[in-house]
């Protein structure tokens, strides 16, 4: 079945190519196509295009289909082009000609726009919930490990004294910014395109504000061409948010892979979270975090892949947009998997204490020594030269105590302030 069928045949090779992987990815949209259709038929009934005795039948039929989706029994049959066609086909089988009325005032263009908006909205909520779980783990571990010192690095060289509390807390606050970006994308997505039809509106007296309320959208995409131009643009915004979050998770995974190696030995994964070698009996590899790192690298290419599909398209619908599902849908799954595995593994990582007792890390304290001279009244540049000469002559030693008090430093992590920032964004 094809919604555009006019009793004409299409070349089999052309048909298979144009349908592509839509039946596979459209299964993700089935519940949302049914949800959008239910709102649409209620609106059609309110303007007299569906009779009062027909509406309960359509709603009941759609609820039955929703039950099939929830039970994993809904399928797009061979020869059926997409989820929209399958839903209408099944309603028509149940209700006869009544089922054929549900497409009045719609195009597949605004239908898929609504499906995608509802799908993305739900997925963003799931991602945000996973972010919150990870944030809570990071802040809890930050507070618990604030006195466990570790080296900090710049240019991959030993730089200054850091702590696991500072390290965990850095990723927690970075998630605040990632959530803020995701929140802004949610606001953009949370606008109703239904009623824009093929992108040029409709001569039927549609009540677009009614479907906006029924579907829980914050507002309308008012201009119908603008609504259609949201296809591709929406995916771009979401791709940027996913790429940013992928960057955070990928960097965390890279740190864990490095810090768990024997040359560093700052932290240790439990044996159950590592894999072995087929030839080296001693190996305990951080494969989970290596795969997270790789998947997150791929996530950071999603904006470019979306641009590659949508670049230089004029306004209006194009079949090119179909390929965006193949980029975005698997990326969402990968992102949620990476979040879930990080949430699962991070609490089990064991930290090594007394790392800085090793003489290799003595030079971490040069800035502390310079600052002590400054506090005694020595001009900074003279203090810097004095300590620098001690280092060059192999005479530097530091036996003082760390005294970091400013906001966000070793001695003042501001964990509660970071939690406050997160909750402010979360409430959005």
The CA distance from 317 to 109, in Å, is 7
Ramachandran region, residue 2 (left: φ > 0; alpha: ψ -120 to 50; beta: rest): beta
Considering the candidates 28, 196, 203, 277, report the single residue annotated as catalytic.
Answer: 277
Residue 412 sits at φ, ψ, to 5 deg, of: -155, 75
The CA distance from 238 to 221, in Å, is 17
Considering the candidates 9, 155, 203, 278, report the single residue annotated as catalytic.
Answer: 155
Show the tokens assigned to 163: 């702590």
Query: Is 155 among the residues known to form the active site?
Result: yes
Is the Cα dihedral 384, 386, 389, 393 positive or negative? negative
Cβ neighbours, 10 Å, residue 134: 22
Query: Is 277 among the residues known to form the active site?
Result: yes
Catalytically active residues, by annotation: 155, 277
């Amino acid at each position: 079945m094809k919604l555009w069928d006019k009793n004409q045949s299409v070349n089999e090779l052309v048909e298979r190519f144009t349908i592509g992987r839509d039946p596979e990815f459209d299964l993700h949209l089935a519940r949302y196509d049914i949800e959008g259709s239910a709102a649409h038929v209620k609106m059609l009934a309110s303007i007299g295009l569906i009779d009062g005795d027909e509406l309960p039948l359509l709603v009941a039929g759609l609820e039955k289909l929703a039950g099939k989706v929830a039970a994993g029994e809904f399928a797009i049959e061979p020869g059926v082009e997409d989820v929209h066609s399958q839903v209408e086909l099944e309603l028509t089988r149940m209700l006869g000609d009544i089922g054929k009325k549900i497409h009045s005032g719609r195009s597949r263009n605004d239908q898929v726009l609504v499906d995608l908006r509802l799908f993305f909205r739900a997925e963003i909520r799931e991602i945000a919930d996973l972010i919150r779980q990870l944030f809570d783990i990071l802040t809890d571990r930050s507070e618990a490990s604030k006195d466990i010192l570790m080296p900090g690095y710049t240019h991959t060289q030993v730089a200054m004294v850091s702590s696991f509390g500072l390290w965990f807390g850095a990723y927690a606050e970075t998630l605040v910014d990632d959530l803020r970006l995701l929140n802004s994308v949610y606001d953009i997505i949370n606008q109703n395109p239904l009623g824009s039809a093929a992108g040029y509106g409709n001569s039927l007296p549609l009540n677009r504000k009614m479907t906006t309320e029924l579907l829980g959208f914050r507002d309308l995409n008012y201009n119908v061409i603008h609504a259609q131009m949201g296809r591709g643009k929406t995916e771009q915004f979401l791709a940027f948010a996913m790429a940013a979050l992928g960057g955070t998770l990928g960097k965390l995974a890279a740190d864990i892979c490095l810090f768990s190696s024997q040359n560093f030995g700052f932290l240790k994964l439990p044996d159950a979270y590592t894999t072995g070698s087929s030839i080296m009996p001693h190996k305990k590899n951080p494969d989970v975090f290596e795969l997270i790192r790789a998947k997150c690298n791929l996530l950071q290419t999603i904006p470019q892949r979306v641009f590659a599909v949508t670049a230089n398209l004029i306004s209006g619908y194009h079949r090119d947009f179909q390929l965006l599902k193949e980029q975005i849908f698997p990326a969402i799954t990968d992102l949620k998997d990476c979040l879930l595995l990080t949430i699962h593994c991070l609490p089990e990582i064991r930290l090594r204490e007394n790392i800085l007792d090793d003489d290799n890390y003595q030079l971490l304290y040069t800035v502390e020594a310079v600052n002590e001279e400054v506090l005694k009244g020595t001009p900074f540049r003279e203090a810097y030269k004095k300590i620098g000469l001690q280092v060059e002559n192999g005479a530097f030693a530091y036996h003082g105590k760390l005294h970091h008090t400013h906001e966000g430093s070793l001695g003042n992590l501001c964990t509660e302030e970071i939690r406050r920032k997160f909750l402010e964004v979360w409430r959005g």
